[in-house]
Structure 1
Amino acid sequence: MGNYQYHYCPEGIESRYELLVFNGEREPFLPLTDHYHDCIGRIDKSSALSYLKCLLPFFRWLDVSSNYQGKRIQWNEPPEIIRTAVEDYLMNEMGCKVREKDTFRFVNRTSKSPNTVNRFLSALKSFYKSLIRLKQYNYSNPLIDSYAILDEYKSQTEGVRKDKPRMPSEAGTEDAKPHRRLTDSYFKLINEDWQPEIIDDPYLPSQVYQAGKKVNWSLRELVIARMLFETGARASEVIELTIGDYRSRKNFQEANAFNKGSHGKRVKFIRFSKDTVKLLMRYINKDRIQYDEFQRTFEELSNEAPIFLTELGTLFSYEAWYYHWSRAIEECEIKLNPHKTRHWFVTTRLREIYNTSKTEAEIKQRTNELIKYIKWKNADTIKVYEHYFDEEKHREAHDQMLENMADLEKEYIEQTKHNRKKKSTHTVLESIKTVELDPELQDFLDGLE
């Protein structure tokens, strides 16, 4: 039995599905197909595709290796059977440790676990939400702990008076309950704080551009790639830019863009180089015009017109673009999903801030400007990058100390060659003792003895 795979609808074929999933027998598998299409509109296409990719291996595993009372497990089994399958998959295929706790399970990643465990659990939870919504799964969601919801609701409604409900907040007789999000997942991943990746190769964009050249990227793919590295935007935010997004900014190096979770509303702007502007305008007026239905130039296009088109004159999609991206990445033999360009941008931008700022206050101000530009929902994300640069500063200072030590060693050797006497170490130490030190520093030095 082969792997589960997905294929896009061939051009020229009419279908209500833009993508079809096939099982190991090369037969259409509608549950995953329907889930993907149900996700579109609720989350962006790149996230829907990411969920699908996480689920394909699990569904193959169900067909080939799952076991419940001597039988293979089907995706539409009752919740307790699905949970057994998921627990086995987490332990045996993803290298996790699973521990029972009340009405749910704690999941711990190990050194053998991939970094996709959380995404897999989210994807499977989303799958069953979709199939329940589409009336194809006749039970409650196996990935949701219904008891946790009931307990939470009970704790939120019980008052301080025995067996009495809480008084309304307007009464002022009971302390307000702090707001917190319900954790309804049956499998709860613990000690799993998300960490951004630090990508610090200054030549990375050039490597990607050269690889794109080797696989015959068009000007369209090059412009998109340059925008990713230069703006820190997500791929979908760049690919779905409109002519109006570019026109709406006063500065010709900028464009308005939507953000993750803004549902298409333009809530931020992106900024790119003058060289990319030249390539963009060349693409619009020379390459794009060939595929535009009315062969319109930039000045003639409406604000609603998409910047990037397919060869058929239709809206260029993330999926169509990703095919070209993945070919280039394979060519340069590096592992680089598109989102890592965002991490590269932040790392590079912060390095420039740390290298050019003269005071800590300037670093803080410019870092806050970066946070506003990148539109992070959680400003604490920047702390991971700052920690990286704090370590870098220590390394630089330490390297300088080591270089000084090496220079002094060479100097000493040269002096001994010329029979020059050098003060003894004891003399140096004695002179240090005569210096009055800060009490806290003295305590620290005493602790080193």
Structure 2
Amino acid sequence: MYWLEFCPNYIESKYELLVFKDNNPFLPLTNYYHDCLGRIDSSSALSYLKCLFPFFKWLEEKSNYQGNRVQWYDSAEKVRVAIEDYLMSEMKCKVRDKETFRFVNLTNKSPNTISRFLSALKSFYKSMIRLKKYLESNPLIDGQAILHSYKEEMKGVRENKPRMPASAGTEEDLPNRRLTDSYFKIVNEEWQPQIIDDIDLPYQVYQAGKNVNWSLREMVIAHMLFETGARASEIIELTIGDYRQRKSHQEVVTFNKGSHGRKIKFLRFSKETVKRLFHYIETERKSLDENHLNFEQLPDDAPIFITANGTPLTYHAWYYHWNRAMKINEMSLNPHKARHWFVTSRLRDLTNARKKYMQLSKDELVNRLIEVEQYVAENQQRWVINQFEQFK
């Protein structure tokens, strides 16, 4: 059984955390985590570390090479055999020989963590070699692939930018691609457009925020993201005047992508979020405000969301907290997917309403769908009208 403990604040130690095997410190994984720090962020290092626990336990209990258990420090050949067995028996993959490496085909029973597991294991052996704890070549690297030079053939349409997958349909196909140097190459892990349709997704995000002690500010912004379908920047840059401008206390005006900062659309959120918003303004925000002003005292141009220094919150400062919560809770979710969830949930609500009550005619349903489309398209018609009004 492998597990970890963070170092208590009152103890001085060179280790930020310790990995234990049963009740004894296990230094290979402990040293691996600390070697990663500074090379990748701590949340990614922690995610990689946890991803390796099941494999190390399997090595100890189920691995087999010519009748013996495989140890992590065994020869590259033995380790590769063990990894291949693990991919097939535990991760339900199909592994095929190909010259000097292996093709890994995912099946419908394979978990979605295989790529991360192989990356973590490859990273582990890099660290052990760097720390001189493993004297063999990296079992996760195909030495022959390194000898081939494909880099000159890899210039894409967008130079120095990552390419979108071919299935995205946004870039021309490249005649030649540089082969990965990985010994285990996943060949059918294709990118697919996804529809966010988990009704509990917002609550999973809120819980992730609670697990990392999100402040009131982060929690309010998260609720507004899922309830309005707005971009994060459209919420983060709201001012007190944007809220006062609407008659309804559940609405706020904001800018639109392409509106050059002009406030031409409105967002609507729940009464519960209104309560959270005012609680934030009257407590957390007030304590951070230079003059400790409440809602009534704040000027219209005052930002609703501010930093610990009392300055206007920026997208990058806010994203740090979002990204940290997602990584620590092992959720692959960028803020933009909240917009996808919003659209999907609205369409689902309309469909369910028609099925349940059978009161919506086809024309009424179409009209409702158009309303959703117009809202998500950020009131494009209103923006066009405003553009023309500037040139009267």
TM bucket normalised to smaller: 0.5 to 0.7
- The question of whether the paired residues in 1 share the 8 Å contact of 2:142 and 2:183 is answered with yes
Cα offset, 1:43, TM superposition: 3.3
2:79 is equivalent to residue 116 of structure 1: no
Cα offset, 1:316, TM superposition: 7.7
- The question of whether the paired residues in 1 share the 8 Å contact of 2:208 and 2:326 is answered with no
- The question of whether the paired residues in 1 share the 8 Å contact of 2:96 and 2:102 is answered with yes
Q: Which letter does structure 2 place at the counterpart of 1:5? A: W
2:299 is equivalent to residue 301 of structure 1: no
Rate the CA distance shift 1:282–1:88 in 2: closer, same or farther, 3 A.
same
Distance 1:152 1:114 in 2: 33
Q: Which letter does structure 2 place at the counterpart of 1:50? A: S
- The question of whether the paired residues in 2 share the 8 Å contact of 1:149 and 1:182 is answered with no
- The equivalent residue for 1:181 is 178
- The equivalent residue for 2:301 is none
Rate the CA distance shift 1:101–1:155 in 2: closer, same or farther, 3 A.
farther
Deviations 1:54-91 (A, max 9, x none): 21100111111112233222212221111111011111
Matches within 5 A, 1:101-180: 101-152=98-149, 180=177
- The question of whether the paired residues in 2 share the 8 Å contact of 1:144 and 1:185 is answered with yes
- The question of whether the paired residues in 2 share the 8 Å contact of 1:45 and 1:318 is answered with no
Q: Which moved more, 1:147-156 or 1:52-61?
A: 147-156
Deviations 1:326-363 (A, max 9, x none): 7xxxxxxxxx9462875453243477799337999x97
- The question of whether the paired residues in 1 share the 8 Å contact of 2:150 and 2:178 is answered with no
Rate the CA distance shift 1:14–1:92 in 2: closer, same or farther, 3 A.
same
Q: Which moved more, 1:203-212 or 1:73-82?
A: 203-212
Which segments of 5 or more consecutive residues in structure 2 lack a partner in the other structure? 154-173, 244-251, 254-265, 294-305, 348-367, 381-392
Rate the CA distance shift 1:103–1:212 in 2: closer, same or farther, 3 A.
closer
Q: Which letter does structure 2 place at the counterpart of 1:32? A: L
- The equivalent residue for 1:355 is 369
- The equivalent residue for 1:70 is 67
Q: Which letter does structure 2 place at the counterpart of 1:46? A: S
Among 20, 43, 46, the alignment partner of 2:18 is 20
Rate the CA distance shift 1:346–1:143 in 2: closer, same or farther, 3 A.
same
Q: RMSD across aligned C-alpha pairs, in angstroms? A: 5.3
Deviations 1:170-195 (A, max 9, x none): xxxxxxx9773341111111111133
2:48 is equivalent to residue 51 of structure 1: yes
Q: What is the identity percentage for the equivalent residue pairs of Structure 1 and Structure 2?
A: 53
Matches within 5 A, 1:229-240: 229=226
Q: Which letter does structure 2 place at the counterpart of 1:301? A: N
Deviations 1:240-287 (A, max 9, x none): xxxxx8699x98999xxxxxxxxxxxxxxxx99778698467447635
Rate the CA distance shift 1:349–1:181 in 2: closer, same or farther, 3 A.
farther
Distance 2:123 2:208 in 1: 36
Q: Which letter does structure 2 place at the counterpart of 1:183? A: T
Among 339, 342, 355, the alignment partner of 1:345 is 339
- The question of whether the paired residues in 2 share the 8 Å contact of 1:220 and 1:283 is answered with yes
Q: Tell me: higher relative CO, structure 1 or 2? Use CA pairs within 8 A at least 6 residues apart.
A: 2
Distance 1:154 1:209 in 2: 43
Cα offset, 1:106, TM superposition: 0.9
Report SS of the residue matched to 1:20: strand
Cα offset, 1:198, TM superposition: 2.6
Report SS of the residue matched to 2:25: coil
Deviations 1:206-265 (A, max 9, x none): 68769999xx997467336426646999xxx99xxxxxx8699x98999xxxxxxxxxxx
- The question of whether the paired residues in 2 share the 8 Å contact of 1:197 and 1:340 is answered with no
Matches within 5 A, 1:259-274: none
- The equivalent residue for 1:10 is 8
Report SS of the residue matched to 1:98: strand
- The equivalent residue for 2:223 is 226
Distance 2:275 2:223 in 1: 12
Matches within 5 A, 1:428-443: none
Cα offset, 1:4, TM superposition: 1.0
Distance 2:282 2:72 in 1: 51
Distance 1:299 1:99 in 2: 53
Distance 2:221 2:72 in 1: 39
2:93 is equivalent to residue 79 of structure 1: no
- The equivalent residue for 2:262 is none
- The question of whether the paired residues in 2 share the 8 Å contact of 1:9 and 1:19 is answered with yes
- The question of whether the paired residues in 1 share the 8 Å contact of 2:103 and 2:185 is answered with yes
Report SS of the residue matched to 1:106: strand
TM-score, normalised to structure 2, is 0.57
Which segments of 5 or more consecutive residues in structure 1 lack a partner in the other structure? 157-176, 239-244, 255-270, 308-314, 327-335, 367-449
Rate the CA distance shift 1:83–1:358 in 2: closer, same or farther, 3 A.
closer
Matches within 5 A, 1:319-330: none
Rate the CA distance shift 1:279–1:7 in 2: closer, same or farther, 3 A.
same
Rate the CA distance shift 1:273–1:8 in 2: closer, same or farther, 3 A.
farther
Rate the CA distance shift 1:4–1:348 in 2: closer, same or farther, 3 A.
same
Distance 1:295 1:28 in 2: 51
Rate the CA distance shift 1:10–1:154 in 2: closer, same or farther, 3 A.
closer
Cα offset, 1:143, TM superposition: 0.7
Report SS of the residue matched to 2:148: helix
